[in-house]
Amino acid sequence: MDRNLALELVRVTEAAALACGRWVGKGDKNSADDAATEAMRRTLDSIDINGTVVIGEGEMDEAPMLYIGEKVGHDGGADVDIAVDPLEGTSICAKGMTGAITTIALAPRGGFLHAPDMYMDKIAVGPQACGVIDITASPEENLKRVAEAKSCYIQDLTVVILDRPRHEKIIGEVRKAGARIHLISDGDVAPAIAATVADSGVDMMLGIGGAPEGVLAAAALKCMGGGMQGRLVFLSSEEKDRARAMGIDDFDRIYSAEEMAGGDVFFAATGVTNGELLRGVRYFSGGAETHSIVMRSKSRTVRFIKAEHQFDFKPVY
């Protein structure tokens, strides 16, 4: 695939961030999400791809745009599958809290796990600890192994966990093991990626969040040589039926990053609000500044891009 597609993808996440950035702190998560989705949809059509959305805003009857199965781009472009989360952390954005991002990933046809909209148990770490994690082991065991791989004490490690009652047990176990915890209210994709960035202050992301977002995080971690495992969490037999319909029949399977995002994968994200991974959109007279990350698994080049946008000279959706 053309490596320049990576830079095209940044344009998409930048446009989405500039659009939903206007909704930061306004208490209206749906409008923020709509703004990001619309901007992403429009910019996607300007890219030279013949794409199908496989991770998106939902099924066709519940999402007007970027729904699963929707075609984007045009005939003759590169045949790709697309995973999007136009605004990861809609509530964070609505409350003006930290960690909201806009994000997209691209893989050759069939590259992404078609993850149903349900929960996934996840563990993500950086390259040094890539080969030592085991989602079936206790948090203490994983922390011991990561500390050893990083040549540090467990007390030096910081684990990001979604602040939910379902995580009470693992939070207790991580505390007992001695590691530091950063509890977040929403948005576990950015911290999973941050775990692979040396100076982010995050060493591990742990716990149950959305499965589609697990695939997006896997795409990024694959590009960065990070380690990730994910296992779907089924809350009902209806969810198992939905998974079966999407081609999943081994319900206990543990997926690696490679198994969730196969082939030559591209990933891009732009900060909406400040976070451990990216700075949020900052507006100034006549324009705004964005901070993005873009990467490609084939070359493993990771770029952080700070961009200045002048509204008089470009369309803002």
Tell me how far apart the alpha carbons of residues 158 and 303 are, in angstroms, rounded to a whole number.
Answer: 24
Which of 272, 279, 246, 269 lies closest to 100 in space, CA to CA?
272
Which of 264, 240, 215 lies closest to 114 in space, CA to CA?
215
Closest CB to ligand VTB among residues 102, 128: 102
Residues 71-90 that bind ligand VTB (CB under 6 A): 88-89
What is the four-CA torsion angle of 226, 88, 112, 78, rounded to 10 degrees?
-110
Choose, by CB under 6 A, the member of 144, 145, 164, 182 that binds ligand VTB: 164
Binding of ligand VTB by 186 (CB under 6 A):
yes
Sequence letter at residue 21:
G
**Residues 6 or more apart in contact with residue 4 via CB below 8 angstroms:** none
Binding of ligand VTB by 33 (CB under 6 A):
no
Binding of ligand VTB by 162 (CB under 6 A):
yes
**Maximum CA extent, the chain:** 56
Distance in Å from the first CA to the final CA of the chain: 28
Q: Which stretch binds ligand VTB (CB under 6 A): 23-31, 107-115, 183-191, 307-315?
A: 183-191
Binding of ligand VTB by 271 (CB under 6 A):
no
Q: Which stretch binds ligand VTB (CB under 6 A): 23-31, 206-214, 260-268, 296-304?
A: 206-214
Q: Which stretch binds ligand VTB (CB under 6 A): 173-181, 207-215, 280-288, 308-316?
A: 207-215
Closest CB to ligand VTB among residues 34, 186: 186
What is residue 116's three-state secondary structure? coil
CB of residue 188 to ligand VTB, shortest distance in Å: 4
Binding of ligand VTB by 209 (CB under 6 A):
yes
What is the number of the residue whose Cβ is closest to ligand VTB?
209
Choose, by CB under 6 A, the member of 188, 203, 239, 276 that binds ligand VTB: 188
CB of residue 210 to ligand VTB, shortest distance in Å: 3
Closest CB to ligand VTB among residues 188, 276: 188
Q: Report the alpha-carbon angle 252-258-264, nearest 5.
A: 150
Contact 304/291 with Cβ under 8 angstroms?
Answer: yes
Site size toward ligand VTB (CB under 6 A) is 10
Burial class (CB in 10 A: 0-12, 13-18, 19+), 131: exposed
Chain residues binding ligand VTB by CB under 6 A are 88-89, 162, 164, 186-188, 209-210, 213
